[in-house]
Amino acid sequence: MSLWGGLIVEMISTVDIVEAQSKYGFWGWNLWRQPIGFLVFLISSLAECERLPFDLPEAEEELVAGYQTEYSGIKYGLFYVASYLNLFVSSLFVTVLYLGGWNFSIGLPWITEIFGIDQMSGIFGRIIGILITLVKAYLFLFLSIKTRWTLPRMRMDQLLNLGWKFLLPISLGNLLLTTSSQLVSL
């Protein structure tokens, strides 16, 4: 907690966000609490990673071949590694912010009986947490790759209309709705 402008501001960390989602299991995920925010964040992360249908910088490759004429060999490979690393990081953000992060959230008591462990703690618990986070992140990697295979590319005017006339008003309305519901619950 810190004092800022006479108001007490609570510091938000990703650990606190994940722990808040773990209280109610699967139904405590922010995906169910904020479905509009989830969709806006997902669409925005695809646009930020320049994935189809938002890959406007790569659309010039039909005309001039863009970066493909300037890079070859290892530079070309590093270009694609950076692109997919950006996509993986955005998938990790979606996992932590909306899918409960490293918490399994679905009770399976038979796992602890098989391994003879009363609690998942220590090194085993951390390894399981990392694996759960990676599986959830790979779900969104698959979703973005599937989106690339199925949707056609948008034109620049369509992207601007989507962002400014659709996503921004919906996200501001969602912010207003969430804030008013939090104020009413006080």
17: burial class by Cβ within 10 Å (0-12, 13-18, 19+)? Answer: middle
Q: How confident is the model at residue 150 (pLDDT cuts 50, 70, 90)?
A: confident
pLDDT per residue as tens digits for the range 135-144: 999 998 898 8
Tell me whether residue 168 is in a domain.
yes
Phi and psi at residue 7, in whole multiples of 5°? -110, 145
- Looking at per-residue pLDDT, the higher value among 147 and 57 belongs to 147
Q: Which pLDDT band holds residue 93 (cuts at 50, 70, 90)?
A: very high
| Residue 51 resides in a domain | yes
Predicted local confidence at residue 117, as pLDDT: 54
- Asked, as a colleague might, if the bond just before 53 is cis with ω within 30 of 0, I would say yes
Residue that wins the pLDDT comparison between 80 and 106: 80
Please, are residues 22 and 102 in contact by the beta-carbon 8 Å criterion? no
Task: Take residue 55 and report the two structure tokens written for it.
Answer: 């890959």
Residue 32 lies in a domain: yes
What tens digit of pLDDT does each residue of 27-79 get? 888 888 889 999 999 888 888 887 777 776 555 555 565 566 666 778 778 88
The verdict on residue 175 lying in a domain is yes
Non-local (6+) Cβ contacts of 136 within 8 A are: 95, 99, 100, 101
Q: Is residue 1 part of a domain?
A: no
> Residue 151 pLDDT > 60, yes or no?
yes
Instruction: Write down the pLDDT at residue 90.
Output: 92
Domain hosting 164: range is: 14-185
Identify residue 81 by its one-letter amino acid code. V
Please, what's the b/e burial string for 35-72 (b: 16 or more CB within 10 A of its CB; e: otherwise)?
A: eebbebbbbebbbebebbbbbeebbeeeeeeeeeeeee
Asked if the structure places residue 6 within a domain, the reply is no
Task: Count up the domains in the chain and report the number.
Answer: 1
Pairing status of strand 7-9 against strand 2-4: antiparallel
Residue range 94-137, pLDDT digits in tens? 999 998 888 876 655 555 566 555 555 677 778 888 888 999 99
Q: Is residue 5 part of a domain?
A: no
Residue 170 lies in a domain: yes
Q: What is the pTM of this model?
A: 0.76
